[in-house]
Chain A
Amino acid sequence: MKNISQRNLEKTISKRFFLLSIFKGGIVGAIGWRFFDLQMIENKKYEKLSDNNQFNYHMIAPERGRILDRKMRLLAGNMDGFSLVLNWNKNINVESIIKDILSVIKIDPKDLNNFFKEINSNKNEFAKEILITKNLSQKDVSKLAVRSIEFPEVSFLITKKRVYPQGIIAGHITGYIGPYSEKDTKINIKPHTSWIEVGKAGLEKFFDEELRGKFGRKRNEVTSKGHIVASQIYENTISGNDIQTSLDMGLQAFALERFEKGNNTLVSIKNEKIKKQIEKSKKINFINNDYVYKDKKNRIVNPESGSLIVMDIENGEIICSVSSPGYDPNIFSNDLEVNVWNNLKNNSRSPLLNRSMSGVYPPGSTIKMAVALAALENGIIDYNTKFYCDGAKKLGESTFHCWAKDGHGKLNLTEAIERSCDVYFYELGLKVGIDKIALMMKRLGLGQYYDVEINDKSKGVVPNIEWKFKRDGLQWSMGETLNASIGQGYLLTTPLQLTTMIARIANGKFSVTPTLMINRNKNRFKDLNINPQHLNFIKNSMERVVKGNNGTARNYQIGSKKVEMAGKTGTVQVVRISEAEREKGLVKNEDRPWEKRDHALFVGYAPASKPKYAITVVVEHGGSGSSTAAPIARDIFKHIFKV
């Protein structure tokens, strides 16, 4: 080894050493800066990425609150169900796993379809749970559980399935639930799982937030291979609240059955003759499995369509709300089949429509109390004012007919209501004027929304001069006042509005508003502000509709000493009758095609002496109010008062 002797070399080496030190210092500096950048400046970003690696979060659905009737009977509840879930991660072979599972149990192809759609749309590379099916039977679970060691990637989940034990009976009120979709933007949840369900109609929709409760979150710690090493509840779930409705399911069930029957008779489907008859009549949509309805002419007919509402006149609680035809909300809890849905949606009788709240009908003669009250309150007539009815009222070029072709002769207000004379009310309408009639109608609850606990409701129409001018830019004509005075023309009401009107008349003091909740309305109604004497006069007239010798509903008295009902019938023309037809003589309702028959209405209350419940019966194309709607109302009251 030689010593470094030459100064020159030493100088060179020192210089080179210095250059290399700068180089090294630069590299170390770069590394230091890089770490500073990663760990200090971009720390938040990488922390999030690391968190995404380490954990995946799953929403845990809370148990949905129940819906109960006034006697705590279950309208909507939850049933345990089993779901099969794939713990997906990027390293597993989905196809082969599914193939293996299919060799053990059967899975609905539709579920599989959805599952693969979800897999294919999954762009996120982090592990997560994906639902395979939620319709696992107990048997399937045990079959898979025995061989669970072969399927480490799948796990079971106990899910709650929504059930409606009352089925079709209260379908419109409970509504139904369905999978969350982007449309449900009002719901402020961002679900991470594909099987969150939200209320889609009825109370389920109105009280969705309250029923739903609060979602919890589960946090799984997963390895890079997708194995779950730890799982903890990150946020607790809070179960939804129960909702107690004012409905009485006993009455509701009875009412539905009675309503659907109408004036027809029940025959067993097992009868061979009937079977043949059913095959012939293709128009029948709603055939119960056991029986069908036959009308007086031995034709097989559909159950009656329409609405029936019973309301407590003191607190506005709706104890019965039938809308027919209805649907069974349970079909939405299972995966709804497209043809079933299409059948419901496209059915000419609109089973999805809740007629009680959102069906609008011309009220017909049931509106006459409002016209009479408008006249009395404005001092235009007194109790004894009489008009002469000769069967028609001429106004300019037009003739307005009374339903009684030959007229009622000279009669006063009570008689006019009792016998439902149209001409009397034409005269009254002309004297009072549409604006004053409209004001009274609104005071009695027509033409407005209530804050009843259903989202879908209609406002109806209470026309007046301004309304028509705004809508059509046309002047109001006298003829239209005549039409409105007998509840035809522009006037449209929902069954709920008619019930509210009757409840207010029967109550006499307060502007009752309807509710589906029990114990909600307590002393919070506004005063009605109608002269009680006038109201009593109207109520007496309504009693005579049932009890009077000429009353339109005299054939349908309850006939009990304790309880009698009071009310008003209504028959609503749905097709215009030309003069020529009138000359020929009217075709009887039952001889017309169903769509052209009159609507049958009855509004009333009972007991007549001390009112408690108001009722509205609307039978679409049911013939006449007195022969079809009134007997239904009578039977409902008989059931309520057990007489």
Chain B
Amino acid sequence: MNYKSNKFSEQTYGSLFFSKLSKLNFLIIISLILLGLVGVASLYSAAGGSWDPWAKNHLIRLIFGILLMLIIAFLPHKVFFKLSVLSFFIGILSLILVKLVGTGNVQRWITLGGMNFQPSEAMKIALILILARYFDHVSRIDLDKLKSYILPLFLIFLPGFLVISQPDLGTGLTIILLGLAILFFVGISMNFVIFCLIILASSVPFIWNQLYDYQKDRILVFLNPELDSLGSGYQIIQSKIAIGSGGIFGKGYLLGSQSRLNYLPEKHTDFIFTLISEELGFLGSMIIILIFCILITSIIKISFSVKTLFSKIVTFGIGFLLFLYLSLNIGMVCGLLPVVGAPLPLISYGGTSLLTVLIGVGIVLSINIHDKEIG
């Protein structure tokens, strides 16, 4: 820790607060709130024009989540630096715990004091933090050496495989992709990347055998939805019908026939963007994707103006995490990717992904406030 200056210690708490407030990135906060409200409105529509059962809860969670995000934003970012190792171990422990005591057919959830908690979501933030801390720690010269990447790869694939074995292919792959993107970001040798891609390609048959039947089905059906138009292909066919029938301006808010008549599966969680596309059309969909892009670019832009490598990696990681969420979910609903089960952050109903994103953005805001390079 070698702060070049610590001007905050000389100031009163009151002026400190306002000084921090003025450094908040409001573009990020506004786009976040906008997307959260889009989520509330979509869930209201998904329930056929009712606050129950989803829209109300989502709004409450959103309010509390944003408050939590602001609290995090005002914490000094060194807190996350310190907590990174601990949070990662807690994350790994909960992933193991969830395998032992998890609820439901698919072991994803642990129940803590009446609240369902999905450790795999929190793991994403923990992974970003621990990778950032690791790379911040190793010497610059070592970054060129391959052996410095052995530990990070282990840190990535341990939670990754734990999550895939839950089984939750979507989240597991997200974790692995996220980790690998960070490795790529900090400058892992290009030759090694190519080598890894070759290894990956050649291990496809092996991975295929490790997959559960329903996961195999999903991928096969993705390649040809008509294979099972009433079974697992049904989701994607109906989703495409809903999106396609939306046209340029959509069928109108609350008027999406595909969702209203229950042709859309999971319309309040993974397929909520389909509902939006059906009701608001091409223009609506593009505006929402645009807001996401603004959010993601604003976050990633911060990584250029921070002093420490830790902050740089964390902001990039969280930005990339959001991008992964967005592209996996939307790519899935429009049939570009197989149905792997990925929520759309801030809009899909579900506490854990909302919380993960808000905590992540909170950390980014904190870094933005506390770790600015002095121009």
Binding site for B on A (CB under 8 A): 1-6, 8-9, 12-13, 16-17, 19-21, 24, 27-28, 30-32, 34-36, 38-40, 42-43, 45-47, 49-51, 53-54, 90, 125, 221-225, 229
* Chain A residues closer than 8 Å to B277, beta-carbon distance: 35, 39
4 closest A-B pairs by beta carbon, nearest first, are A46-B244, A50-B245, A12-B187, A1-B308
Give complex CA distance A9, B313 in Å.
12
Give complex CA distance A130, B251 in Å.
31
Interface check B106, CB cutoff 8 A: no
Beyond A46-B243, A54-B258, 17 additional contacts (C-beta under 8 Å) are A1-B81, A3-B307, A5-B140, A9-B143, A13-B312, A16-B186, A19-B184, A24-B296, A24-B323, A24-B327, A34-B336, A35-B334, A38-B244, A38-B334, A43-B248, A47-B244, A49-B244
A-B pairs with CB below 8 Å: how many?
146
Give complex CA distance A81, B123 in Å.
68
Closest CB-CB distance, B88 to chain A, in whole Å?
Answer: 17
Give complex CA distance A6, B135 in Å.
14
Query: Known contacts being A9-B143, A50-B245, A50-B258, is A2 close to B187, with CB within 8 Å?
Result: no
Closest CB-CB distance, A120 to chain B, in whole Å?
Answer: 17
Interface check B320, CB cutoff 8 A: yes
Q: Contact string, B250-273, partner A, CB cutoff 8 A, digits 1/0? A: 000000011001110000000000
Closest CB-CB distance, A581 to chain B, in whole Å?
Answer: 79
Give complex CA distance A299, B91 in Å.
108
Q: Which of A30, A39, A223, A225 contacts B285 (CB 8 A)?
A: A39
Q: Is the CB of A125 within 8 A of B230?
A: yes
Give complex CA distance A21, B257 in Å.
37
- Smallest CB-CB separation from B257: which chain A residue? A54
B170-205 interface (Cβ within 8 A of A) = 181, 184-187
Closest CB-CB distance, B328 to chain A, in whole Å?
Answer: 10
Can you list 28 A-B contacts (CB < 8 A)? A1-B81, A1-B310, A2-B2, A8-B140, A9-B186, A9-B309, A17-B300, A27-B331, A28-B293, A30-B331, A30-B336, A31-B336, A34-B331, A39-B281, A39-B282, A46-B245, A47-B245, A49-B241, A49-B244, A53-B238, A53-B258, A54-B261, A125-B230, A221-B257, A222-B261, A223-B263, A224-B263, A229-B261
Give complex CA distance A225, B185 in Å.
49
Give complex CA distance A221, B255 in Å.
13
* Chain A residues closer than 8 Å to B262, beta-carbon distance: 223-225
* Chain A residues closer than 8 Å to B361, beta-carbon distance: none
* Chain B residues closer than 8 Å to A36, beta-carbon distance: 282
Query: Known contacts being A1-B309, A2-B136, A20-B185, is A43 close to B289, with CB within 8 Å?
Result: no
Closest CB-CB distance, B347 to chain A, in whole Å?
Answer: 15
* Chain A residues closer than 8 Å to B242, beta-carbon distance: 46, 50
- Please tell me the number of chain B residues within 8 Å of chain A, measured between CB atoms: 55
Q: Is the CB of B261 within 8 A of A39?
A: no
Q: Which of B261, B296, B311, B330 contacts A221 (CB 8 A)?
A: B261
Q: Is the CB of B286 within 8 A of A32?
A: yes
Q: Is the CB of A1 within 8 A of B244?
A: no
Q: Is the CB of B140 within 8 A of A9?
A: yes
Query: Known contacts being A1-B310, A24-B323, A28-B289, is A38 close to B243, with CB within 8 Å?
Result: yes
* Chain A residues closer than 8 Å to B247, beta-carbon distance: 39-40, 43, 47
* Chain B residues closer than 8 Å to A27, beta-carbon distance: 323, 327, 331
Q: Is the CB of A17 within 8 A of B282?
A: no
Give complex CA distance A31, B320 in Å.
17
B310-330 interface (Cβ within 8 A of A) = 310-312, 316, 320, 323, 327, 330
Give complex CA distance A417, B285 in Å.
97
Give complex CA distance A27, B289 in Å.
12
Q: Is the CB of A49 within 8 A of B245?
A: yes
Q: Contact string, B122-147, partner A, CB cutoff 8 A, digits 1/0? A: 00000000000000100010010000
What is the predominant secondary structure among interface residues of chain B facing chain A? helix
Q: Is the CB of B243 within 8 A of A223?
A: no
Query: Known contacts being A13-B312, A34-B334, is A1 close to B136, with CB within 8 Å?
Result: yes
- Smallest CB-CB separation from B316: which chain A residue? A17
Interface check B159, CB cutoff 8 A: no
Give complex CA distance A64, B344 in Å.
57
Interface check B240, CB cutoff 8 A: yes
Q: Which of A8, A31, A46 contacts B241 (CB 8 A)?
A: A46
* Chain B residues closer than 8 Å to A5, beta-carbon distance: 140
Q: Which of A1, A31, A42, A225 contacts B327 (CB 8 A)?
A: A31
Q: Is the CB of A224 within 8 A of B309?
A: no
Interface check B1, CB cutoff 8 A: yes
- Smallest CB-CB separation from A3: which chain B residue? B307
Closest CB-CB distance, B353 to chain A, in whole Å?
Answer: 19
Give complex CA distance A622, B136 in Å.
120
Q: Is the CB of A9 within 8 A of B241?
A: no
* Chain A residues closer than 8 Å to B181, beta-carbon distance: 20
Q: Is the CB of B323 within 8 A of A31?
A: no
B275-290 interface (Cβ within 8 A of A) = 277, 281-282, 285-286, 289
* Chain B residues closer than 8 Å to A46, beta-carbon distance: 240-245
* Chain A residues closer than 8 Å to B229, beta-carbon distance: 125
Give complex CA distance A175, B374 in Å.
100
Give complex CA distance A36, B243 in Å.
10
Interface check B119, CB cutoff 8 A: no
* Chain B residues closer than 8 Å to A39, beta-carbon distance: 243-244, 246-248, 277, 281-282, 285
Q: Which of A35, A45, A221 contacts B282 (CB 8 A)?
A: A35
* Chain A residues closer than 8 Å to B245, beta-carbon distance: 43, 46-47, 49-51
Q: Is the CB of A53 within 8 A of B78?
A: no
Query: Known contacts being A24-B323, A27-B327, A31-B336, is A38 close to B240, with CB within 8 Å?
Result: yes
Closest CB-CB distance, A288 to chain B, in whole Å?
Answer: 58
Closest CB-CB distance, B288 to chain A, in whole Å?
Answer: 11
Give complex CA distance A19, B185 in Å.
9
Query: Known contacts being A2-B308, A40-B282, is A31 close to B330, with CB within 8 Å?
Result: yes
Most chain B beta carbons < 10 A, residue from A1, A17, A35, A46: A1
Give complex CA distance A124, B336 in Å.
27
Closest CB-CB distance, B133 to chain A, in whole Å?
Answer: 9
Query: Known contacts being A43-B247, A221-B261, is A3 close to B185, with CB within 8 Å?
Result: no
Q: Is the CB of A31 within 8 A of B334?
A: yes
